Amino acid sequence: MKQFKLSTSLFLLGILLLFPTISAVAQGIIPKPHTVVYRDGQFKIDNETRLYSNLSRKNLKTMRYWLGEVTSAPLKKTRTRNGNQIIRLIQTGKPNEMNTVPFNRYLQGYTLDVSERGIEILSPSKAGLQYGLQTLRNLTAVDGTVRYVHIEDTPRFAYRGMMLDCSRHIWTTDFIKKQIDMLVRLKMNRLHLHLTDEAGWRIETKHYPELTEKAAYRTTSNWEQWRATGMNYCTKDTPGAYGGYYTKQELRDIVRYAAERGVTVIPELEIPGHNNEVTSTYPQLSCTGERASDLCIGNEKSFEFIEGVLKEIMDIFPSEYIHLGGDEASGKNWLTCERCQKRMNDEHLQSKEQLQAYMMKRVNAFLNRHGRKMIGWDEITTGGTPDGAAVMAWRGADMGFKAAKDSKVIMSPTECYYLDYFQCNPATDERGQLGYTPLKSAYKFDPIPIDYQNKPEAKNIWGVQGNLWTERVDTEERAEYMIYPRLFAVAEAGWSSPARDYSDFKTRALGLIARMKRDGYAPYDLQNELGDRNESTSAVVHDAIGKPVTYLSPCSPRYAGTGNGTLVDGKMGDWSFKDNGWQGFIQAGRLSIVIDLQKEMDINNVSADFLQFRGPEIFFPAEVTVAVSTDGQNFEEIDKQTFKDDSTRYFVRPYTWQGKAKGRYVKVTTRAPKQGGFIFCDEVMVNRRG
């Protein structure tokens, strides 16, 4: 029997012509299976099809839920495995292995075979059978036909997750369950709930009831407006109050719903920073006795609070891992707090980073005594990573590889997996913040690039996670718009082989998006994606390309582009200020450079593009000055332009001078607006052509 590999676009085109209905469905499989071998022939699920399984009644109930997404046929159960019109769901693993399924990628794998004998899915675990059913769902045409196929599939990583920020905006339990269903469709198995932060406390707690009475509600739903007007909390009955919290029963219901579908819910309790809501309610837990972001580490009451809340959290969430935050604590008050300084002296700690590490290690030990472990953002590696803790690397993949020398790591870098970032032109998309992460950028990220695949730390890359922070995400439709389809890319990185083919992936993504819309989701309109900034997709020609540049004021090391040649490389930047096409300037003088054209020439135009993005404090210059020189010492000013402050949140605009001048050296200087901030430029052009 002739066999075909699902590997090339030519093959896919041929199959599409032969089996248009089945093939069109099959192309939508995300994440892409590892091995797919098609055969001639097809099986049809109909009213005569029977179901055989060795699963318990309880576990089979969940499988029937997903089978209902595949077919409307009744699928009466049969006790015999033999026959030709049977769907077989067979768990092959041992009972003593089941507790390790979330941590063992091999136990999550499955084999799917469709032949004249029917459909058979084999897996060591219930989770693997469920993943096999998701693949079957994608392969099955509307009329119930499935082409003969053999699939062998195992995830690349054991941890494949999504984080939902429930503090900045709170989400209904129905919405959370809806996202759990999509996680299952994407073969993802972790849901990380960010439940505590300054924007609102979201967990019912019997020991500290005032947290839900006084810190679960704020004076407006608009997070930015709330921040700008004093970050005031209020009670539920205050006019205009926004917020709420999850009761213990609601959280248990979410945990149960997720567990039935093979998804582990990981709660996050933020310590020691991001605690304004806690210290607003219990100011004695801060260093100053007033509201502050950081808990007082020198105060034993802080540890009593943390341990008391964690006991209640552990009673709700059976997850082996509890997320303890650990990010963005300023530690400023610790340096002047008598209790913190005494703690540092008593424990022989030399820095505020070591003081924070003391807290994280102590709370980690508390979790360990209760049979749990901690996850923390990558700041927990500063000052010493707690024993056995997993690190969530958000400040770049390099932080992840560094942490992986000693710890399990979940890759969640901002530039790829922060789902709150813009996914199209920021000037036309008010839904995003900070960076620009289109689907293409999320997809191209490899958690273990080829340079690291043979290094010892590669074995400690536990998995991947996409994060939706919700400062600017305030409706369910907006949340889904930001999550999908970029979460598809996270799912594929977590499951499929490291080989990348964006064109193939985008085709599959469009198919899944269409089905999601029919199912009531509101994903981003990838079909009409605006794409990259046009200017960044082709080279620009001018006389300064490749010429030496002297920086009279250095660019920020964080935003250095590709180095000293960035501003004269003939390449324009993309929408993101983090794109290597841009350089950012923050020191006194801001952008101030001299370009050596290496010979005297006529100069008839000088231009440069500048970016404004008010969120991260990047502003268009208040003034741009251009001067020329024949000797590099004595400069003659040929233009000075001033610009009024523009309140527009985001734009890229040019500065341009046209006229007649002569010289070898061109000096371009800028002045920052009164509010300061960065100045970003992507290219300084002399005698631009075209």
Catalytic residue among 46, 116, 290, 328: 328
Nearest of 599, 619, 630 to residue 670 by alpha carbon:
619
pLDDT of 517 > 70? The answer is: yes
CA separation, residue 401 to residues 389, 397, 398, 450 (Å): 15, 6, 5, 13
Establish if 22 belongs to a structural domain: yes
Q: Two tokens at 282?
A: 């219990």
Catalytic residue among 113, 197, 492, 609: 197
pLDDT tens per residue across span 323-349? 999 999 999 999 999 999 999 999 999
pLDDT of 28 > 80? The answer is: no
Mean pLDDT of 542-562: 97
pLDDT tens per residue across span 113-160? 999 999 999 999 999 999 999 999 999 999 999 999 999 999 999 999
Asked if 128 and 82 sit in the same domain, the reply is: yes
Look up the CATH number of the domain holding residue 118: 3.30.379.10
Distance CA 275, CA 280 (A): 8
Establish if 297 belongs to a structural domain: yes
Buried b (16+ CB within 10 A) or exposed e, 259-287: ebbbbbbbbbbbbbbbbbbbbbbbeebbb
327 belongs to the catalytic site: no
Asked if 133 and 174 sit in the same domain, the reply is: no
- Provide the pLDDT for residue 27: 52
Q: Two tokens at 247?
A: 């009761």
| Mean pLDDT, the chain, integer | 94
The structural domain count of the chain equals: 3
Mean pLDDT of 288-302: 98
197 belongs to the catalytic site: yes
Asked if 415 and 549 sit in the same domain, the reply is: no
Asked if 122 and 266 sit in the same domain, the reply is: no
- Which of 130, 153, 176 marks a domain boundary? 153
Establish if 528 belongs to a structural domain: no
Establish if 526 belongs to a structural domain: no
pLDDT of 19 > 90? The answer is: no
Instruction: Kindly state the percentage of the chain with pLDDT values over 90.
Output: 89
* Angle (nearest 5°) at CA 432 between 486 and 443: 20
pLDDT of 685 > 90? The answer is: yes
Asked if 383 and 397 sit in the same domain, the reply is: yes
Distance CA 333, CA 337 (A): 6
- Which of 134, 153, 172 marks a domain boundary? 153
Asked if 549 and 617 sit in the same domain, the reply is: yes
Asked if 179 and 309 sit in the same domain, the reply is: yes
Establish if 240 belongs to a structural domain: yes
Establish if 606 belongs to a structural domain: yes
Mean pLDDT of 50-73: 93
| List of residues 6+ apart from 425 with CB closer than 8 A | 530, 533, 575
pLDDT of 175 > 90? The answer is: yes
Q: Position of tokens 């077989």?
A: 88
Establish if 136 belongs to a structural domain: yes
- Give first-to-last CA distance, the chain, whole Å: 59
Q: Please say whether the beta carbons of 105 and 157 come within 8 A.
A: yes
260 belongs to the catalytic site: no
Asked if 392 and 464 sit in the same domain, the reply is: yes
Look up the CATH number of the domain holding residue 573: 2.60.120.260
pTM: 0.90
* 42 φ, ψ (degrees, to nearest 5): -150, 155
- Provide the pLDDT for residue 431: 72
Asked if 490 and 590 sit in the same domain, the reply is: no
CA separation, residue 151 to residues 32, 33, 34, 109, 183 (Å): 11, 7, 8, 11, 21
Q: Position of tokens 């269903």?
A: 181
pLDDT tens per residue across span 70-114? 999 999 999 989 989 999 999 999 988 988 999 999 999 999 999
Asked if 335 and 351 sit in the same domain, the reply is: yes
Distance CA 237, CA 146 (A): 56
pLDDT of 313 > 70? The answer is: yes
Mean pLDDT of 591-598: 98
Establish if 402 belongs to a structural domain: yes
- Which of 502, 518, 547 marks a domain boundary? 502
Asked if 51 and 164 sit in the same domain, the reply is: no
* Residues spanned by the domain of 16: 3-153
Centre a 10 Å sphere on the Cβ of residue 57 and count the other Cβ atoms it contains: 8
Catalytic residue among 169, 192, 194, 274: 274
- Provide the pLDDT for residue 432: 82
Asked if 264 and 402 sit in the same domain, the reply is: yes
Q: What is the band of 433 on the pLDDT scale with cuts at 50, 70, 90?
A: confident
